[in-house]
Structure 1
Amino acid sequence: MPSPHTLTCPSCAAGNRLPADKLSAGPKCGTCGARLAPAKPFALDPAGLKKAVKTDTLPLLVDFWAPWCGPCRMMAPEFEKAAQALAGSARLAKVNTQDFPEASGAYAIRGIPALILFSGGREVARLAGARPAADITAFARQHAPA
C-alpha cells in the first residue's frame, strides 16, 4: 500500500494528509476547499513556500520569476505544460520575486527564471534560465526521488 502524502494548501497553508492513490482524484483542502494538486502552477508566498518545503512529501518544483522579466513571461506557458505532464508526481509553484524579494535572498537566487526542485524538506536540484516544457519535465523526473 502506498504511503500517504502530506501537502500544504496553496491557498491557506494548512497541512493536508491524503492517500497517494487520491492524488489523481483532484483532492481538496480540508480547511478551505482549494485544490491541493492542481494540474497548473500555483502562486506561493515565502511563508507558504517554507512550510511546503518543510512538510510536503510530494516533490515541489518552484519557478522564481518576476513580471518584468521577458524570459520568465516566455517560459510561463511552458511551465504550465510541465505542470500538466507532472500532475500526480510533483506540484509546480511560482514565487514572484518582485513581490517577495526576500525569497531571492533566502534561496540564493542570482538570476531569473530559476527553478528549484524540493523534496524531503530540502533542495535537491536547481536549473537556471528559460526552458521548454520537455526540459522542465525531464529535469523534475531526473532529480525527484522515485
Structure 2
Amino acid sequence: MTMCVSALALTSLDAVARIGRMSFQELFSVDDMEHAEGWRKLFCNVYFSTFVTLAFGFILTQIGYANIWPLFGSANQLLSALVLATLCVFLKVTGRNNKMLFPPLVIMLCVTFTASGAAPDCNGQGHLCTLPPLLPSPPVRPPGALSSSQTACS
C-alpha cells in the first residue's frame, strides 16, 4: 500500500512539474526561437524553466496548505465558470439556445469571486488576498512607550 501511495505522489509531482514547465516555456516562446532574444532562450531552456517551476512550487508549500487550498478551490471554481462561458459562446455561434447556461454561469462567478475575496486568514478573519503579506507588519508599541526619536527628557 505504501508503494502505491508513493508511486501516486511521485507521478503526480512529475506530471505537475512537466505541465508547469511547458506552460512556463510557452509563455515566453516565439515561432523563430533560433533568432530570439537571449532572455527568451534562457526562459525557454528546459533546465531553467524546470527550476523556476519547482521553485514556485516550493515557495507555495512553504506558505502553508491552509493558504494554498483556497487558491486551488477558487481556481477550480473559476475554471468551471470559464467552461460555462465558453459553452454559452459555442451554443450562440452554432445558433442554439444558450439561455439555460446563464443562471449557473452567474452563480459560479458570484460564488468564485465571493469565496476568493472573503477567504479567511489564520485568525479566521476574511481579507481580499489569500496569501500572507510579503513584508512583516511594523511592531505595535504599547501605549505610553517612547519611540526611537523621543527621549524621556523631551
Answer whether TM exceeds 0.5 for this pair.
Answer: no
Taking structure 1 as the reference length, what is the TM-score of the superposition? 0.22
**Rg (Cα) greater in structure:** 2
Taking structure 2 as the reference length, what is the TM-score of the superposition? 0.22
Higher helix share: 2
